[in-house]
Amino acid sequence: MKKINEICDVLNGYAFKSKHYVDSGIRVIRIANVQNGYISDENPCFYPNSSIDDIEKYILKENDLLISLTGNVGRVALLNKEYLPAALNQRVACIRIKDSGVNMKYLFYYLNQRKFIDECIKASKGVAQLNLSTKWLENYQLNIPLIEEQERIVAKIEELFSDLDNAVETLNATKAQLAVYRQSVLKEAFDIDRFPKVKMENIVDDIKIGPFGTMLHKEDYIVGGVPVINPQHIKCQRINPSKKVTISEQKAHELSSYCLQKNDIIMGRRGEMGRTAPISSIEDGWICGTGSIIFRLKPEFDALFYSKILSSPNIIAYLEKSATGTTMKNLNEKIVKHIPVPVITREKQLELTSFLEDRLSICENIEKTVDSVLQQASAMRQSILKQAFEGRLL
């Protein structure tokens, strides 16, 4: 057993000033970049190359191990050459091997065990946000066998991880194929060029945008009241209400003109286009939120069917083209009442809905199985690491 500071140098980061960031130069590695087992390069930040002499002690090297010290503490990533030149930001620690008898990947895999993350969390201080001390990190003890044994352990881990990666790649490819299949099914079922078309305003009794912000304030929300449905609550043709985004019966009565009724369709009018859901007897009486729109269909039109129409590829393309706003797409009443929709008999609506339910339910079941196996693959990685460092893998 050896302490980390016996085999490594542990370095603290520097508080780089965001006002000095530039478009390219020395990459600043922040906490957000350090994920479990890898560096995320989303939204990279850079410091000027001209400042390299001033920040020399914070310049990172290839194969440095980086660890998050604040928030999600204990995440360990390996810095690859592709991210250099790079510098260490505050609240990220660098673990740099100084002992030739330690294999870098052995240490990397050792510190990626769930056990290590749990011990980091336990050793951290803070309530709102955890903070891990580098002093604790320096004194953390780990098992360091002979270099030959380390190399054998690493080789076995990577052999098993390679098999696991291949399986995960196949599963992700399956998910991608299912997504393509789903779109093709929707396109086939809702190819509106096959049917006579009218504007959305011709098949509804009313179109209503949710209440203005002045009608619904932050202090109106309670826990466990009448759900208010905003775009984030609409997913995959279903409504997933939040217990925290609800209002009292009295407030719901005041907003009764925005009350959802059975056979309505609710649509998100901000951000991602095409988020819709039919209203059943379960959601009857809930409130349309500020970011949503109600379509009150005429009796001869089925909400389940036309909800799928409004989330089909053709309609999404229309909405994205017509929506206003640059930072966030927005729909208004004028845009949505002109959505081109097919006029289909009630009998044909039910027939197409049944066809879709059969096809898409197969997709959903396969996706659930794939997601379950992907979760198992993640657990299996931890099982492999646990066995490796308990001497049960070789």
CA distance 164 to 156: 12
Q: Do domains 2-144 and 196-343 have the same CATH topology?
A: yes
Write out the CATH class of domain 2-144.
alpha beta
Give the architecture (CATH level 2) of 196-343.
Answer: Alpha-Beta Complex (3.90)
pLDDT of residue 348: 86
What's the confidence (pLDDT) of residue 190?
A: 62
Spatial distance between the Cα atoms of 15 and 367, rounded to a whole number of angstroms: 44
Model-wide pTM > 0.75? no
Predicted local distance difference test score (pLDDT) of residue 151 = 95
| Residue 344, φ and ψ in degrees, nearest 5 | -130, 145
How many CA atoms lie within 13 Å of 149's alpha carbon, on the beta-carbon side?
11
DSSP 201: G
Distances (CA, A) of 268 to 71, 237, 310, 326, 376: 32, 11, 11, 17, 34
pLDDT for the residue 166: 94
- List the domain boundaries for the chain: 2-144, 196-343
β-strand pairing of 26-29 with 86-88? parallel
State residue 391's pLDDT score: 85
| Predicted pLDDT at 378 | 85
Can you give the pLDDT of all 394 residues of the chain as single tens digits? Answer: 999 999 999 999 999 998 999 999 999 999 999 999 999 988 899 999 999 889 999 999 999 999 999 999 999 999 999 999 999 999 999 999 998 899 999 999 999 999 999 999 999 998 888 999 999 999 999 999 999 999 999 999 999 999 999 999 999 999 889 888 877 777 776 665 677 889 999 999 999 999 988 898 889 999 999 999 999 999 988 999 999 999 999 999 999 999 999 999 999 999 999 999 999 999 999 999 999 999 999 999 999 999 988 988 889 999 999 999 877 889 999 999 999 999 988 888 888 888 888 888 888 889 889 989 988 998 999 999 999 998 887 7
CA dihedral 93, 99, 101, 103 (to 10 degrees): 30
